[in-house]
Every structure is written in structure tokens, then in C-alpha cells.
Amino acid sequence: MAALIVADANALIAHLDRADVHHERAVALLLDGADLPLGASLLTVAEVLVGPARAGRLADARAALETLGLCGLPFGADAADRLARLRAETQLRLPDCGVLLAAQENGAQAIVTFDARLAATAGRLGISVR
């Protein structure tokens, strides 16, 4: 896959929710990277869809993600081992490790996140952060 941007759930949730404190920043960051494909691990996509599923708005959220051009990124066959190693080494939550693994497996140019710990860890791993 060509270079892409991998989004964290908090950036996608903020983009979808006009009332979110990070909404304007999320829109700007995702538009700034619009020249590159946008992806998210399937774990991240599921995390983004939890709130809309609770609210009975799953189809609306899915449509909004499709409008963004979001591509769900499956993990490779050795994902369980790699996720376990990332979790053990970084102490990040498993969904955050999913963002890192999606970036690593897909040669991401950068990740988009508002999570300071994830951003710092990504930087230490040589992954750019927007």
C-alpha cells in the first residue's frame, strides 16, 4: 500500500462529533492529509463505532467514515504476537497498540492522534505524528 495516514479513534470521533472539543482540529488535520489515503485498524474502526451503535446511528457513522475515504486496515497473521509485544513494551492500551501496528504494517507516513502517550511512543518508534 502507498503511504497513508493512520487515524486514532479519538481523531475520528472528534471529526464525527461537532460538539467534541477537538472537532475543528480533527477536521483540519484530516483535511491537511487529504492528499494521502486515510486508514485505521479494524480495532480502531470498531472503537469509533461503539458510541453510534449505542445511539442507534451506526449506519450514519459508517456513511460518514466512508465519506472521509477511511480504509479499514486488517492486521497480518502475526498480529497477536506483535500486539502483545507492543503492549508489553509500551504499556499502552491495546487499541493504541493497534494504531501503532497499523502504521507499522502499512508504511504510514504519520498517525493522527490527540493522545499524548500514544504520540510520544509513536515518535520513539520513528512514526511521525500529526
Residue-range domain boundaries for the chain? 5-129
The whole-angstrom separation of Cα 4 and Cα 36 is: 5
Which tens digits make up the pLDDT trace of 11-45? 999 999 999 999 999 999 888 767 889 999 999 99
Determine whether domain 5-129 maps to CATH 2.60.120.260. Answer: no
What's this model's pTM, rounded to 2 decimal places?
A: 0.92
- The strand ranges marked E within the chain are 5-7, 38-41, 70-73, 110-112, 128-129
Instruction: Output 2 or 89, whichever has higher pLDDT.
Output: 89
Please tell me the distance from the alpha carbon of residue 89 to that of residue 17, in angstroms, as a whole number: 33
Q: Is 40 helix (H, G, I), strand (E, B) or coil?
A: strand
* Closest listed residue to residue 26, CA positions, set 113, 107, 85, 87: 113
Q: Residue 130 in contact with residue 116, Cβ under 8 Å?
A: no
What are 73's strand-pairing partners? 41
51-99 pLDDT, tens digit per residue, is: 999 999 999 999 999 999 999 999 999 999 999 999 999 999 999 999 9
pLDDT of residue 33: 64
Burial of 71 (0-12, 13-18, 19+ CB in 10 A): middle
pLDDT at residue 62, rounded to an integer: 95
Q: Cα-flanking dihedrals φ and ψ of residue 111, to 5°?
A: -115, 155
Given a cut of 70, is residue 2 above it in pLDDT? no
